[in-house]
Amino acid sequence: MEAYADTIVPGEKRWPGDAAIAGAADGGGAVAAGAIQLLEWDATGLTEGLDDLADLLNRHARTYADGRGLALDTALPPFVALDFGHRTALVAELTAPGHPEKEFWVLLALFSNMAYDSAAHMHTADAIAQGHPGLAAMGVVPPGPDRLWRFDQHSYGRRLARVHPDTTPSGSPA
């Protein structure tokens, strides 16, 4: 599951020889952002099926490798044994329109992405305070002391286009 999440939002290896994370991008990816914690939270509705999905993913990986004559390191689960390019190609196949299991793989992708782009397993203010890698990389600014956002400046404050000539007094199209 780590390897799947890392294919959705890739990150750097946690230690030399980290096999699950392919190391395809700098900075933390979905795994460092908490994808596994999120998926293991039963609020997602996926938790019970995770082991089955992992088994299924490995079966797909083996078929994928066999079809291409790839030799996989047998010490690793088959999906983890694929390199990042092959992991990406397989995930693209599994999530493509028409794949019979598409829905499950899309759900896994959605939650992997959510761990990174919104830290959906944590209070947002806490996640930012703890340096959550996704929110930090996206440049999400911290809220005020009351954990709410407010922006004093919000407008260029001038007219920037002609309005449509057929605009009614209510401000609607005619």
Partner 1 sequence: MNSAEQTDVLVVGSGFGGAIAAYHLAAGGASVTVLERGPWLTAEDAEHDYKLGSSYTRGFDFTVGDGMSILGGNCVGGGSVVYFASMPRAPRFVFERRGSIGRRMWPAAVSRDTLEPWYDRVAEALPVTPQDWHDVTYAGGLWAAACDHAGRTANPLPVAIDTAACVNCNWMMAGCRFDAKRSLLLNYLPAAVAHGAVIRPLHEVQAISRTDGGGYRIRYHVIDDEDYRITTGSGAIDAKIVVLAAGAGATPVILQRSEAGLGPMPHAVGRYFSGNGERLNTAVVNEDRVAEVLGLSRGEGAPAYGANPIGRGPTVASWDRLDGSLPEYSRYSLEQLYFPPGLGTILAQAPDAGDGPTWFGRDKKRMLSRWNSWLTIFTMSEDDNEGVFGPPPATGNAMRISQQMLGRGNLRYEPTANTRHGWAASDAEVKDILERDGIARVRPWTNDVVGAYTVHPLASCRMGDDPATSALDDRNELRGHPGIFVTDGSAVPGALTVNPAMTIAAVAERAVPGIVRAARERGVAVRYGAPAPDGSTSGRRGVLPLIRT
The nearer residue to partner 1, 66 or 149, going by C-beta atoms, is 149
- Please report how close the Cβ of residue 161 comes to partner 1 at its closest, in angstroms: 4
Question: What minimum distance in Å lies between the beta carbon of 145 and partner 1?
Answer: 13
Closest separation in Å from C-beta 83 to partner 1: 13
Tokens of 55: 């088994």
What residues have CB less than 8 Å from 97, skipping those under 6 apart?
A: none
Which residues are CB-contacts of 81 (< 8 A; sequence separation ≥ 6)?
61, 65, 72, 73, 74
Task: Using the minimum distance from each CB to partner 1, give the nearer residue, 72 or 105.
Answer: 105
> Which stretches of the chain bind partner 1, using CB under 8 A?
7-10, 24-25, 29, 41-46, 88, 91-92, 95-97, 103, 106-107, 109-110, 113-114, 116-125, 134, 137-141, 143, 147-151, 153-168, 170-174
C-beta closer to partner 1: residue 74 or 168: 168
CB of 74 to partner 1, least distance (A): 27
Closer by beta carbon to partner 1, 71 or else 154: 154
